[in-house]
A and B are shown apart, each in its own frame.
Chain A
Amino acid sequence: AQSVTQPDIHITVSEGASLELRCNYSYGATPYLFWYVQSPGQGLQLLLKYFSGDTLVQGIKGFEAEFKRSQSSFNLRKPSVHWSDAAEYFCAVVSGGSNYKLTFGKGTLLTVNP
Chain B
Amino acid sequence: GDSVTQMEGPVTLSEEAFLTINCTYTATGYPSLFWYVQYPGEGLQLLLKATKADDKGSNKGFEATYRKETTSFHLEKGSVQVSDSAVYFCALSKGSARQLTFGSGTQLTVLP
Is the A/B pair a real complex? no
